[in-house]
Amino acid sequence: MDDYPLTTLPLLERAERLFPAVRVATRAPDRSIRATDYFHVVRRARSLAAALLGEGIAPGDRIGTLMWNHSTHLEAYLGVPAAGAVLHTLNLRLPTEHLTYVINHARDRWILVDDVLLPLLAMVRDRIQPERILVVPFSGSRVPEGFEDYETLLARYPPAETLPARGERDALGLCYTSGTTGNPKGVLYSHRAVVLHSLVVASTLGVAQGDTVMMVVPMFHVNAWGFPYFLTLLGARQVFPGLHLDPASLVDLMETEKVTCAAGVPSIWFGILEALEKEPGRWKLVPGLRMIIGGSAVPESMVRRFDALGIRVTQGYGMTETTPVVSLSVPKAEMQAWEPERRYPVQARQGLPLPFVEVRIRLDKEDLPWDGKSSGELQLRGPWITRQYYGEGESTGKWTEDGWLRTGDVATIDTEGYIEIVDRMKDLVKSGGEWISSVALENVLMGHPAVREAAVIAVPNAKWGERPLAYVVLREGMTAPPDELKGLLERRYPKWWIPDEFRFVASLPKTSTGKTSKLTLREEFARSTAPPPA
């Protein structure tokens, strides 16, 4: 067989040649819609590649992007690897010390930055040494004095018609973990990993050329779940919300662009759900609209509530180390005919492992059965699972001796093969020598109509070692007495699982990727019980 390498170059050529007029739409900062198409996106990506090559960027060099979701970011997703360089998407929600760290650790030669994000870049500017900073005039205004205009550079370079050949093991992208413990760690994505991931994720989701997909998942998060690549491969329409991420703006965009599929994290989707429920007749969405939700667990109540609105939820699971999608909660064919109440729990699981991703759950180096009860650490291997962090050796404790990735997540796998994450290894509550799943408790609490968000953490206890404590955020104007919440939990779980205390708070602390920061909650709890400083 032909030794034809699996790279992303054919994606560009395909979209340009076969789907030139397919729409790519972006909401601009002034709320207007800017429409372009694959032809122009790819021509510009080729110009970007020409500029990188012409200005001395060498194969494997890192190009940082500090950008919102828009068509110029898509251009960079396609154009930077087309020049043989590595796209390093910078998470604009990282604490500045981490942002500084990742730019320096990656030795980004250039940074492409949205004009609207220049204030953020200014906060780290004197601690980083990129050779060039190119400002994308996303706002539509003139690029500020003293900065180099991305558009000016692009205009100087006609599209590169011939792109340098790359090997399929060559790197195409770089993302860092959010570094909840210690410094962020980098993961290099190869062309091969991204291509295989694209093919498998697209076909498992059943997303097709006829779809119009809105990427709410930030393009600065874990490879944007691979969406920019597989949507380009398919020739599907792409819709970018820019920086308008409030529920009403997102639902407006879904309506006007006739979105058929949208992807994002649960916190965004909570807001959308509430907006849709509050004003049932306000928006006309495309029938059969699907939501791909990932990044943290989707409570069953969310699946049920979206279903009542005619919107089907598919949950995805993955992480920076896995390109990132590992599993999708697509129901099996026979489950489609199940009563909704039987189907919802399946959709609320993290899903079936994707083809070519091998999964196992382990406790003390022993494989556990797929019985839906036995829980152990979820471990993975496959063609888009990384084997090492960028710039570090292999032996960081993140991989088993036989080469599987240790996810740090505690999971069960049911007899059908659906993975359910029951906790983070470090978030399990060990009470009287037995394990309690904080995630299981949170999911039940979030099913209460008055509860908007909940988080359960382990707190030290003299008698039991640890006991669960629940933080609860109520919905506006609603209440949920602790006894009522306890009763709800007792219907599903043993008495000793029930948190001893419920703390009602206005909001939960979040990590830079939008997940609840249990580390912060544990620290807050420690401070709240520590003796006051003398």
Least distance in angstroms from the C-beta of 334 to a copy of itself: 8
Question: Cβ of residue 146: shortest distance to a copy of itself, in angstroms?
Answer: 40
Non-local (6+) Cβ contacts of 192 within 8 A are: 5, 6, 7, 168, 169, 383
**Is 414 a binder of a copy of itself (CB under 8 A)?**
no
Q: How far is it, in rounded angstroms, from Cα 183 to Cα 103?
A: 12
Nearer to a copy of itself, 111 or 200 (CB): 200
Residues 93, 95, 99, CA angle at the centre, nearest 5°?
Answer: 85
Lookup: tokens for 482: 């602790």
Token pair 């190869």: residue? 190
Q: Which residue from 417, 447, 482, 509 is in contact with a copy of itself, where contact means CB under 8 A? A: 417
- Rounded Cα distance between 454 and 261, Å, is 27
Q: How far is the CB of 30 from a copy of itself (least distance, A)?
A: 30
189 scored as a contact of a copy of itself (CB under 8 A)? yes
Residue 483's closest CA among 435, 520, 518, 448?
Answer: 448
Residue closer to a copy of itself, measured from CB, 212 or 517: 212
- 430 annotated active-site: yes
Is residue 521 close enough to count as binding a copy of itself by CB under 8 A?
no
- What stretch of H or E contains 445? helix 438-445
Task: Exactly one of 177, 320, 407, 513 is catalytic; name it.
Answer: 177
CB of 458 within 8 A of CB of 428?
Answer: yes
Nearer to a copy of itself, 211 or 423 (CB): 211
Question: What does the DSSP 8-state code read for residue 125?
Answer: G
Residue 161 interacts with a copy of itself (CB under 8 A): yes or no: no
Give the DSSP letter of residue 471: E
> Is 415 assigned a catalytic role?
no
Distance in angstroms (rounded) separating the CA atoms of residues 484 and 357: 42
| DSSP codes, 236-305 | -EEEE-BT--SHHHHHHHHHHTT-SEEEE-HHHHHHHHHHHHHSTTT--PPTT-EEEE-SSPPPHHHHHH
Q: Choose which of 31, 332, 373, 492 interacts with a copy of itself (CB under 8 A).
A: 332
Active site residue 435: yes
Token digits for 413?
């796998």
The answer to the question of residue 81 lying near a copy of itself (CB under 8 A) is no
Q: Which of residues 8-67 bind a copy of itself (CB under 8 A)?
A: 10-11, 14, 17-19, 22
Which of the following is catalytic: 321, 377, 442, 453? 321
Residue 188 binds to a copy of itself (criterion: CB under 8 A) = yes
Which of these is catalytic: 180, 255, 283, 435? Answer: 435
Residue 110 a catalytic site member: no
Write phi, then psi, for 45 (nearest 5 degrees): -60, -35
Identified catalytic residue from 430, 434, 496, 501: 430
387 lies in the binding site for a copy of itself (CB under 8 A): yes
Distance, in Å, from the CA atom of 453 to the CA atom of 270, rounded to the nearest integer, reads 9
**Does residue number 169 form part of the binding site for a copy of itself (CB under 8 A)?**
yes
Stretch that binds a copy of itself, among 106-114, 185-193, 291-299, 477-485 (CB under 8 A): 185-193
* 239 sits near a copy of itself (criterion: CB under 8 A): no
Residues known to be catalytic: 177, 321, 430, 435
Q: Site residues (CB under 8 A) for a copy of itself?
A: 1-4, 6, 10-11, 14, 17-19, 22, 169, 188-190, 192-193, 195-196, 199-200, 202-203, 206, 208-210, 233, 235, 323, 332-333, 336, 352-353, 355-356, 358, 370, 381-387, 403, 416-417
